[in-house]
């Protein structure tokens, strides 16, 4: 393999990286230190950004096993500069063939507590490996095997427990210590691993080696498949070998929209993210006061809350897997429809209270992971990947090191029953065999008026992802804040139901007082989103990783 000549490598500060160099620029922003290093190393070896993406996806699966992994799935938005084309790939989990609309209800039709969230019944058919394999086949340059090598080495030789991991091990210690396979990996002397302890994942390395050798079949038609099905069947789950052999990644058409002079491309259904980000940007353009100031006024905050509320009402009413139900994508982002919403918001005297769900308990922290890889000569990668909740279903398939997702909880398990993010769904998002649960993951790409690459961003954070990504874009493009301020500044969140407006402590106290006096049901909460973003302009490319999390931005000039 021919190595490229690297003239400058700048290892940046942990959370931000920028440069005025005139050379070619490559930036990766991820939540994993080793993952970012691996993405960059693949570039050094002569890989393209898809190669870096594949290697980074396997690496982050090893490095942040509580939030993502090969037992889960995700989305990719990819701009190929040479082809001048945006690709939108869906390798999210699908409902098993034996799934049923009422599978989480008892004989009286009541939801069986936690049944969609914990254990083998919460597991949907994983899609990550199939997605990576097909995407690599279509766009990759380096050999598949080589891209798995760094992840295999990481799983085998291990890495020290970092603060985020120590926190989630402590929070889930009862689960980890009681689950044989997980206990073997994540505990020592009957205690969960502590900060600085080494995490060694030998079984996962064995599984990754099988995938390196056999490609897609290494996960979907091998001893790994048999072990997963056996573990699930033993605990009375419904995943079958046929679920694995029939899994297919799907190529989607991105949702597109104009905001100011920018063109925004984001993830279409089964994600709700793209539609609502574009809806909310267009509503903002019509409703916010002016874009001359970098600060957000009290009145703008009221409009921002109303915009979020209307978008999430649409999410509950219309969104689902468009292969199974009709989702009026074009209508929801159309000027005609949005001008009706603008009028509704303009006529709205105050916050609309919803009386049906006051404050459902949020069961878990929102995990998932996001990373961007941008090369100004090649294109942009924005990918969000997940096993859903912390440690997914809490089930590790015996002898494989694979932690299985609990993505079934992203379906509306029963109309009116909130999922673990407190979101209510309708029949559009009801369970059906092979259907994809509705997602909020919002990998997004933005281009300027000359169709030049401008931004790549996304975040983890459950239903909050959409408002986090939207506010970051808004602050950067409308309020013209620096990317660092746009990512790290205070956020708010309203999702129609439950009836509350989340805000961060750092929100200006005068804004807090104003909203409180106006009767908004405020609730303080740190934003769970760890936004990762890269911004490009004529001379400068900057990468920012949210200061709320453990981000790792690395740059290469060559």
Enzyme catalytic residues: 368
Q: Report the half-sphere exposure of 147 (CA within 13 A, side-chain side).
A: 29
Work out which of 441, 473, 477, 553 binds ligand GLY, going by CB under 6 A. 441
* Residue 383 beta carbon to ligand GLY: minimum distance, rounded to whole angstroms: 13
What distance separates the 2 farthest-apart alpha carbons in the chain? 68
Work out which of 31, 68, 368, 512 binds ligand GLY, going by CB under 6 A. 368
The candidate with the shortest Cα–Cα distance to 89, out of 77, 79, 81, 80, is: 77
H runs (alpha helix) in 24-160? 33-44, 49-63, 128-139, 144-157
Nearest residue to ligand GLY, using CB? 439
> Would you count residue 266 as binding ligand GLY (CB under 6 A)?
no
Alpha-carbon distance 522 to 337, whole Å? Answer: 29
CB nearer to ligand GLY: give 150 or 422: 422
Per-residue mark of binding to ligand GLY, 283-322 (x: CB under 6 A): ----------------------------------------
Per-residue mark of binding to ligand GLY, 370-409 (x: CB under 6 A): ----------------x-x---------------------
The candidate with the shortest Cα–Cα distance to 96, out of 440, 428, 437, is: 437
Tally of residues, the chain: 558
Residues 91/32/411/121 CA torsion (nearest 10 deg):
90
Work out which of 51, 210, 375, 410 binds ligand GLY, going by CB under 6 A. 410
Helix (H), strand (E), coil (C) string for 491-554: CEECCCCCCCEEECCCCCHHHHHHHHHCCCCEEECCCCCCCEEEEECCCCEEEEECCCCCCEEE
Per-residue mark of binding to ligand GLY, 421-440 (x: CB under 6 A): ------------------xx
Would you tell me the crossing angle of helices 464-473 and 298-318 to the nearest 10 degrees? 140
CB nearer to ligand GLY: give 47 or 273: 273
Alpha-carbon distance 17 to 11, whole Å? Answer: 8
Q: How many residues belong to the site for ligand GLY (CB under 6 A)?
A: 8
CB nearer to ligand GLY: give 37 or 57: 57
* Residue 548 beta carbon to ligand GLY: minimum distance, rounded to whole angstroms: 18
Alpha-carbon distance 296 to 306, whole Å? Answer: 15
* Residue 67 beta carbon to ligand GLY: minimum distance, rounded to whole angstroms: 10
* Residue 410 beta carbon to ligand GLY: minimum distance, rounded to whole angstroms: 5
- Chain positions 503 to 532 lying near ligand GLY, rule: CB under 6 A, are none
Beta bridge pairs of residue 544: 16, 533
* Residue 122 beta carbon to ligand GLY: minimum distance, rounded to whole angstroms: 12
* Residue 528 beta carbon to ligand GLY: minimum distance, rounded to whole angstroms: 11
The candidate with the shortest Cα–Cα distance to 75, out of 59, 89, 94, 55, is: 89
* Residue 329 beta carbon to ligand GLY: minimum distance, rounded to whole angstroms: 18
Per-residue mark of binding to ligand GLY, 449-468 (x: CB under 6 A): -------------x------
Residues 6+ apart with CB under 8 A from 92: 73, 74, 75, 127, 270, 407, 436, 437, 439
CB nearer to ligand GLY: give 395 or 553: 395
Beta strands in 424-468 (DSSP E): 444-447, 453-458
Contacting residues toward ligand GLY, per CB under 6 A? 368, 386, 388, 410, 439-441, 462
């Amino acid at each position: 393999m021919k190595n490229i000549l690297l003239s400058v490598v700048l290892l940046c500060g942990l959370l931000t990286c920028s440069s005025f160099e005139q050379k070619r620029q490559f930036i990766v922003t991820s939540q994993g230190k080793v993952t970012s290093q691996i993405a960059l190393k693949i570039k050094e070896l002569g890989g393209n950004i898809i190669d870096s993406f594949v290697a980074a996806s396997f690496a982050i699966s090893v490095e942040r096993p509580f939030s993502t992994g090969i037992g889960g799935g995700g989305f990719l938005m990819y701009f190929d500069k040479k082809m001048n084309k945006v690709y939108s790939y869906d390798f999210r989990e699908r409902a098993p063939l034996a799934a049923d609309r009422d599978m989480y209800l008892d004989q009286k039709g009541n939801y069986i507590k936690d049944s969609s969230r914990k254990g083998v019944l919460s597991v949907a058919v994983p899609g990550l490996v199939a997605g990576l394999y097909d995407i690599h086949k279509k766009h990759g340059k380096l050999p598949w095997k080589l891209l798995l090598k760094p992840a295999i080495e990481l799983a085998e030789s291990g890495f020290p427990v970092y603060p985020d991991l120590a926190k989630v091990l402590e929070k889930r210690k009862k689960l980890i210590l009681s689950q044989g396979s997980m206990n073997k990996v994540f505990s020592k002397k009957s205690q969960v691993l502590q900060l600085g302890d080494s995490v060694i994942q030998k079984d996962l390395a064995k599984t990754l080696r099988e995938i390196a050798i056999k490609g897609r079949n290494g996960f979907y038609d091998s001893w790994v498949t048999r072990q997963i099905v056996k573990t699930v069947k033993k605990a009375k789950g419904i995943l079958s070998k046929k679920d694995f052999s029939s899994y297919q990644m799907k190529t989607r058409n991105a949702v597109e929209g104009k905001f100011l002079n920018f063109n925004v491309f984001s993830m279409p259904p089964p994600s709700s993210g793209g539609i609502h980000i574009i809806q909310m940007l267009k509503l903002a353009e019509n409703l916010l006061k002016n874009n001359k100031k970098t600060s957000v006024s009290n009145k703008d905050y009221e409009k921002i809350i109303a915009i979020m509320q209307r978008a999430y009402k649409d999410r509950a009413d219309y969104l689902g897997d468009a292969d199974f139900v009709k989702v009026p994508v074009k209508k929801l982002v159309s000027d005609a429809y949005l001008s009706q919403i603008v009028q509704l918001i303009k006529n709205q005297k105050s916050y609309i209270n919803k009386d049906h769900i006051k404050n459902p308990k949020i069961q878990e922290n929102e995990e998932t992971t996001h990373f961007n890889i941008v090369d100004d000569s090649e294109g942009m990668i924005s990918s969000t990947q997940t096993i859903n909740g912390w440690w997914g279903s809490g089930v590790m398939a015996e002898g494989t090191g694979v932690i299985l997702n609990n993505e079934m909880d992203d379906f509306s398990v029963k109309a009116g029953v909130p999922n673990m993010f407190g979101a209510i769904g309708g029949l559009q998002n009801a369970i059906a065999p092979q259907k994809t649960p509705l997602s909020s993951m919002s990998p997004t790409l933005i281009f300027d008026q000359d169709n030049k690459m401008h931004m790549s961003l996304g975040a983890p954070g459950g239903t909050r992802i959409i408002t986090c990504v939207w506010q970051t874009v808004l602050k950067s493009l409308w309020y013209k804040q620096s990317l660092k301020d746009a990512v790290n500044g205070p956020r708010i969140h309203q999702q129609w139901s439950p009836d509350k407006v989340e805000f961060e402590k750092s929100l200006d106290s005068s804004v807090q007082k104003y909203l409180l006096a106006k009767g908004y049901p405020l609730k303080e909460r740190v934003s769970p989103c760890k936004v990762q973003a890269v911004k490009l302009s004529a001379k400068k490319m900057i990468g920012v990783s949210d200061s709320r999390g453990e981000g790792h931005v690395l740059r290469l000039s060559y």
